[in-house]
Amino acid sequence: MQFGIFSVGDIAPDPVTGYTQSEAERISNIVRVAQRADEVGLDVFALGEHHNPPFIPSSPTTLLAHIAALTERIILSTSVTLVTTNDPVKLAEDYAMLQHVAKGRLDLMVGRGNTVPVYPWFGKDIRKGVALALENYNLLHRLWREDVVDWEGEFRTPLQGFTSTPRPLDDVPPFVWHGSIRTPEIAEQAAYYGNGFFANHILAPNLHFKPLVEFYRARFEHYGHGTKEQAIVGLGGQAFIARRSQDAVNTFRPYFEEYPVFKGSSLDDYMARTPLTVGSPQQVIDKVLTFQQGFGDYQRQLFAVDGMALPVEMALEQVELLGTEVVPVLRKEMASRRAPGVPDAPTHATLVTDKYGDAEPRRPRPNPNRGDNLSGASPYQDSDPAVQANFPQVL
């Protein structure tokens, strides 16, 4: 079972002090939170992708690469990567590069996103959102598994003899989660490929997404990847922790009730109806155990703990309490209740072992003529000898 945190990188005024972090501060503070998550033994740090204020993670690969250089063991992920508005060729190359930089400590969550205007900003039609998600991931899947790809589809120019570079580390692509809260076609796609399915149920009533998770599980079994109990499921969560429950409620109430998304809502009502837990470490533990009871055994639990204008020191304290007092207990409790045969979430190491056993990973054979030089000749073949002498590496 993997436990971690995810950040959406939002910026908002602190309702207690009135202070608003700058973009530079928020980016720096996300890095600090990720480092602390690594230090306290959490398994995953995930970062969203947003292109609209007040969110700042428009380039998750850049920020995650920086975090990779500053951490040692934590798995880095996205939550989510927009598979609809990004070119799958660029996704294949960017995330393979990040996989190398992170030395395999990377997986990827793809999804449609929840911001309507992002589609026209990137020249896409939101009415084609599902079709874009399906076609773009299908291409991404092939680009990571075939050295040379010929492809033609609806939403981008055809590819002929194309090799995406760099090739995945050890010739094993990053594990992919498909994130969705409303789209059965995305759950179907995750099941078809034997990928993970992530239901971020923090903004909905308790167990609201259970039917979608059960649909994914049934289709995972249908496609022959294992039993429905062996399907790879992840869940979102939201928590604010203090050693005394009333201190947690009193501290968090203004941050919740003044936040634009929740303004006018009652914190007490929201805690009762949704996965949000505000209270002591034991209360968070008890709430998460209801997830296991309701959804069945699952592989990944991510918490949102650094948003909603929380000061960074408060967010770091949340990570500390989560990693030292909540997660160790959850590991033991959930393991003791876990049914036999339920797999762990795949990692780069387990995927390499599954594919090769004790053998050396395969060396890819990319198309040597990929790119501008379709003839295979040097672009400087007919140049002046003096020019050729300056480019010996390409001749």
Domains of the chain with CATH codes? 2-394 (3.20.20.30)
Q: What integer is the mean pLDDT of 182-209?
A: 93
- Nearest CA to 254 out of 319, 313, 309 is that of 309
Range name among 123-132, 138-147, 176-185, 370-379 with the lowest pLDDT average:
370-379
What is the pLDDT at residue 244? 96
Q: What is the pLDDT of residues 88-133, one digit of tens each?
A: 999 999 999 999 999 999 999 999 877 788 889 989 998 999 999 9
pLDDT tops 90 at residue 219: yes
Contact (Cβ atoms closer than 8 angstroms) between residue 82 and residue 90: no
What is the pLDDT at residue 370? 62
What is the pLDDT at residue 372? 53
Q: What integer is the mean pLDDT of 322-346?
A: 97
What is the pLDDT at residue 59? 96
What is the pLDDT at residue 182? 84
What is the pLDDT at residue 371? 55
pLDDT tops 70 at residue 50: yes
pLDDT tops 90 at residue 366: no
What is the pLDDT at residue 347? 98
Q: What integer is the mean pLDDT of 162-166?
A: 95
pLDDT tops 70 at residue 36: yes
What is the pLDDT at residue 157? 95
What is the pLDDT at residue 113? 79
pLDDT tops 60 at residue 394: no
Structure-block tokens of residue 121: 């900003």
pLDDT above 90 covers a percentage of the chain that reads: 84
Averaged pLDDT score across all residues of the chain: 92
What is the pLDDT at residue 115? 78
Q: What integer is the mean pLDDT of 154-161?
A: 95
Q: What integer is the mean pLDDT of 336-360?
A: 96
